[in-house]
């Protein structure tokens, strides 16, 4: 029963979409109708500016961390934490309160990873930041980190449950970025720019 409750709690927590909330509060808009139409921090930066995007990152990271904490408390340790982690990413990507049209789950996944194994999370975060700084492609950083995550889990000799978790989370990330991958391969992907205020007309 504890595993079911922790998974449900994780999914419901994932439904708290930072981009949607900040879009409504700061811009009075549904962020999913603007820019790239994705409910994530990168699109919030594109449409509303960097300060709101930082708030979105904080919200989405925090709910990933909280889901793992709840999972450990309610679901018998690491297994409960892993299931809650998967559930919170599912809730972010496919939230029932937003008619299953959510974000891509990268910030939330990072929050989960930080709580499960901070060593792996910091390596992936450093790699992601380096890729973004050198290429300005957030999607490329997300895809590369998704591919590297299972490799790192195996390299650190983590549990079989963690290996399975890493494969599932990486598959989620790659699935949500399939259009970005096509644009990257075709040289049509948009690069990120840090801005304090949105462009007029966005």
pLDDT at 201: 44
Is residue 200's pLDDT more than 90? no
For residue 180, pLDDT over 50 is answered with: yes
Q: What is the mean pLDDT of residues 22-38?
A: 95
Residue 24 per-residue DSSP state: I
User: Which one is predicted more confidently, 15 or 73?
Assistant: 15
pLDDT 10s digits, 88-121: 999 999 999 999 999 999 999 999 999 999 999 9
SS3 182: helix
pLDDT in the model for residue 202: 45
DSSP 76-125: TTHHHHHHHHHHHHHHHHS-GGGTT-----HHHHHHHHHHH-HHHHHHHH
pTM for the full predicted model = 0.91
CA distance 15 to 89: 9
When pLDDT is averaged across residues 69-90 and rounded to a whole number, the result is 91
CA-CA distance, 171 to 193, in Å (whole number)? 27
More confident site: 202 or 112: 112
Q: What is the pLDDT of residues 143-169, one digit of tens each?
A: 999 999 999 999 999 999 999 999 999
DSSP state at residue 132? H
């Amino acid at each position: 029963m504890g595993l079911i409750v922790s998974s449900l709690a994780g999914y419901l927590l994932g439904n708290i979409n930072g981009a949607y909330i900040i879009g409504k509060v700061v811009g009075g808009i549904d962020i999913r109708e603007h820019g790239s139409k994705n409910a994530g921090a990168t699109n919030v930066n594109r449409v509303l500016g960097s300060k709101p995007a930082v708030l979105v990152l904080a919200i989405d990271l925090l709910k990933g961390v909280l889901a793992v904490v709840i999972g450990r408390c309610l679901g018998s340790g690491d297994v409960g934490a892993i299931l809650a982690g998967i559930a919170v990413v599912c809730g972010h990507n496919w939230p029932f309160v937003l008619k299953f049209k959510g974000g891509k789950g990268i910030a939330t996944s990072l929050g989960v990873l930080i709580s499960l194994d901070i060593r792996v999370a910091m390596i992936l975060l450093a790699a992601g930041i380096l890729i973004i700084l050198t290429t300005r492609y957030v999607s490329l950083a997300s895809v590369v980190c998704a591919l590297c995550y299972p490799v790192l889990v195996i390299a650190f000799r983590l549990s079989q449950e963690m290996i399975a978790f890493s494969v599932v989370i990486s598959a989620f990330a790659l699935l949500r970025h399939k259009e970005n991958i096509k644009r990257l391969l075709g040289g049509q992907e948009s690069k990120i720019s840090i801005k304090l205020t949105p462009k007029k007309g966005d």
